[in-house]
Chain A
Amino acid sequence: MEKEQSFYQELKAKGYTRRQFLKFCGIMGAMLGLQQTGLAQVVNALQSKPRKPVLWFHFQECTCCSESFLRSSHPLVGQILLEMISLDYSDTLMAASGFQAEEVRYRSMKENWGKYIMVVEGSVPLGNPGYCTIAGHSAKQIFDEAAQGASAIIAWGNCASSGCVQSAYPNPTDTKPVHKIISGKPVINVQGCPPIADVMAGVITYILTFDRLPELDAMGRPVAFYGRRIHDTCYRRPAYDAGLFVEAFDDENAKKGYCLYKMGCKGPNTFNSCAVMKWNEGVSYPIQSGHGCIGCAEPGFWDAEPLYHHLPHVRGFGIEATADQIGLGLTAVAATGVAAHAVVTNIQKRKLIKNQMDGDELNQESFAAEEQHIEQEEKALAQKARELENEKRTDKTIES
């Protein structure tokens, strides 16, 4: 019976006031970018609809998504989120363990088959199942079983959304993100390592209110939170446009809070709402704290190393090199090649260059005769010039 209770009823039982509840609804509505009418829908949904059953799975991950989730900014959010949903199974948070825990999972799956939301934290290894096995079942088995009965799958964080550090080169466990091992189920990628807690709360509120997934982009991320680049919302953007960059972490420009672009900030590459919502009760976000963004909400960000360079190294050249170094090297090779080609051309094609090729319409004899003729004419002209000058001189002496 308890499961049928709405979120509001649950809160009332816990001693929260209606005012606090409405405040929370307001915050969520604002974050989702809803209109005022939409806000009423949120309130309505949260106080009348029964809570959604949620099964929360942990595979290859570090639980930082859960940590982030539990440290939501609004005092209500952290607690509330866990109340808002009927969290039937979460192997790190639940009191039960071992056989009991597994039994709860199976019971909930059976009772809510086709209705529950499956929440996945972490990626699923397809290689040796020993890399991630829970209660004697491999991660893949557990995932497949639970995914079949889920109404939707929420992939929390970069691990579940794009593999994060486990899938970085050379991906030893052959791990795959959720959307690559399932088809036919709606998957929502809540990116980040970890995602911002308020974003996680927003996504759940949206699903609860409207009974559908929020609008997703081509990478399966909710547009409301991942629609803009950090770079385009960053408060240091004016420094970027003014060409004022931090050159070293301890220089004058760093103290002035200039743009971290040249320190390898991945803000221009990353879609997330860090610069808008910020972290830890809106205190700060990486760039505000003086360190560049590492792009943790983008697929393959670990492979775009090094963290402190704007462009990643290019693999497959033995020594790790940036595109610029390779480009410069190839340019040098091309310039040398061109110079060598020019030298060889002059040797190989000397006959062509010196008009000694067969088939050229060139008469050697007439050419020689003409040259001689020119020479004679030149001599005659020189002779004439000398004579004329002599005449001038004699004229002048006569006049004087």
Chain B
Amino acid sequence: MISRKKSLREVYVWELPVRIFHWANATAIVVLCVTGYIIGNPPAILISTPPDANYWFGWIRFIHFAAAFVFILNFLVRLYWAFAGNSFAHWSNYLPLTKRQWRGIFDTTKVDVLLLSPKPVYDIGHNSLAAFTYFGVFILFIVQTLTGMAMYCVSTNNFMEPFFTWLLFECGGFFVVRQIHHIAMWAFILFTIAHIYLVFYHDYIERNGIASSIIGGWKFVREDLAEEYETEQKQQQQIQKQKDEISNRAKEK
């Protein structure tokens, strides 16, 4: 029997809302890209019946808009979970505000992107580079949502219409917004390629069950790393407690 890494711990990394977000998001993006591309370049379908007997393009657009609302609401839930969820889902993962995160970005680039060192960088949740990339992707989500809603709301009567119509005109009208929306779709496609490849890569190199972790939520983590992480968390909790106590005392006085 071939074996490696004797002492591994199972760690619950991705909570259920995170996993639901991930798959709902992935499905929505695939649907949006496919229908979006069709809306931009509709295929030549020759139908002998008159226009009133068909509605397929209308349905494609309906699916696009419906998926867009799923995508937006899903993202809003994820934003809430960035404050309510566990430490791996916390918003601070995605913004490199600490020296350690920058160090992580540097190391991961060296080891996993440029392949300059064979020794893997082990992280329990997202690695710093991936998390920072997701921050960029979240910005892309917002750009896509705003441009999409700007184009959608103009022909509706819903309550967001005045704001998005204003936004549309501020951006320079349909010509500009449509182009941004279309280019951003390609950014989604490029991200998807890199994202899926890197899942395969990490699963192959690090063998920590990263691919299945987004289904079940559990990852295999080296025992020493898990312990280190736990003590760190405890320390931070203690520091927080002490801080709270101090502030409470100050209030009492």
Give chain A's interface residues, CB within 8 Å of chain B. Answer: 217-219, 229, 232, 238-245, 247, 258, 261-262, 266, 268-271, 295, 298-301, 304, 310-312, 314, 323-324, 326-327, 330-331, 334-335, 338, 341-342, 344-345, 348-349, 351-353, 355, 357, 360-362, 367, 370, 374
Contacts and interface: CB of A to CB of B under 8 A. Distances in A.
B115 A242 contact: no
B57 A298 contact: no
- For the complex of A and B, the 5 pairs showing the least CB-CB separation, nearest first, are A327-B186, A243-B57, A269-B174, A218-B169, A242-B54
A269 B51 contact: no
B172 A300 contact: yes
B175 A269 contact: yes
Given A327-B185, A348-B118, 12 more contacts: A238-B51, A241-B57, A268-B174, A269-B178, A298-B175, A300-B176, A311-B182, A312-B179, A326-B186, A338-B197, A362-B3, A374-B1
Contacts of A268: 174
A362 B175 contact: no
A300 B176 CA distance: 9
Contacts of B204: 345, 353
B69 to A, nearest CB: 20
Contact of A229 (B115, B119, B154, B166): B154
Interface in B194-252: 194, 197, 201, 204-205
Given A261-B42, A311-B178, A345-B201, A242 B58 contact: yes
A343 B175 CA distance: 42
Contacts of B60: 243
A330 B201 CA distance: 21
B173 A298 contact: yes
Contact of A219 (B42, B52, B173, B179): B173
B44 interface: yes
Given A262-B42, A334-B194, A357 B118 contact: yes
B155 A299 contact: no
B179 A323 contact: yes
10 contacts: A241-B61, A243-B54, A268-B174, A269-B175, A312-B175, A323-B186, A324-B41, A338-B194, A342-B201, A349-B205
A103 to B, nearest CB: 41
B186 A331 contact: yes
A329 to B, nearest CB: 10
Nearest to B151: A268
Given A242-B57, A338-B197, A352 B175 contact: no
B120 interface: yes
A303 to B, nearest CB: 8
Contacts of B169: 217-219
A314 B186 CA distance: 14
Contacts of A310: 40-41
B47 interface: yes
B26 interface: no
B51 A331 contact: no
Interface stretch (B4-12, B15-23, B87-95, B98-106): B4-12
B197 A362 contact: no
Contacts, number: 144
B175 A295 contact: yes
B201 A239 contact: no
A65 to B, nearest CB: 20
Contacts of A352: 118-120, 205
A142 B190 CA distance: 53
B74 interface: no
B4 A258 contact: no
B115 A367 contact: no
B165 A218 contact: yes
Given A331-B186, A352-B119, A299 B172 contact: yes
B175 to A, nearest CB: 4
Contacts of A232: 155
B73 interface: no
Nearest to B61: A241
Given A217-B169, A300-B176, A331-B190, A244 B1 contact: no
Interface in B162-190: 165-166, 169-170, 172-176, 178-179, 182-183, 185-186, 189-190
Contacts of A374: 1
B97 interface: no
B180 to A, nearest CB: 9
A323 B40 CA distance: 11
Nearest to B6: A361
B120 to A, nearest CB: 7
A143 to B, nearest CB: 24
Contact of B2 (A217, A344, A367): A367
Nearest to A241: B58
Nearest to A359: B119
B159 interface: no
A355 B172 contact: no
A268 to B, nearest CB: 7
Contacts of B201: 341-342, 345
A375 B51 CA distance: 72
Interface in B123-159: 154-155
Interface string B33-77: 000000011101101000111111110110000000000000000
B216 to A, nearest CB: 25
Contacts of B41: 262, 310, 324
